[in-house]
Amino acid sequence: MPDVAERLGIPVNRVHQLVRERKILAVRTDGVLRVPADFISDDGVVKHLPGVLTVLHDAGYNDEEALRWLYTPDDTLPGTPAEALRGNRATEVKRRAQALGF
| CB proximity list for 19: less than 8 A, separation 6 or greater | 25, 26, 33, 35
Q: Quick check: 101 and 55 in contact, CB under 8 A?
A: yes
Q: What is the pTM of this model?
A: 0.87
Number of domains the chain is built from: 1
> Mind listing the pLDDT tens digit for each residue in 41-63?
888 999 899 999 999 999 999 99
Query: DSSP secondary-structure letter at 80?
Result: -
Reply yes or no on whether the pLDDT at 89 is more than 80.
yes
Task: Identify the domain containing residue 51 by its residue range.
Answer: 2-99
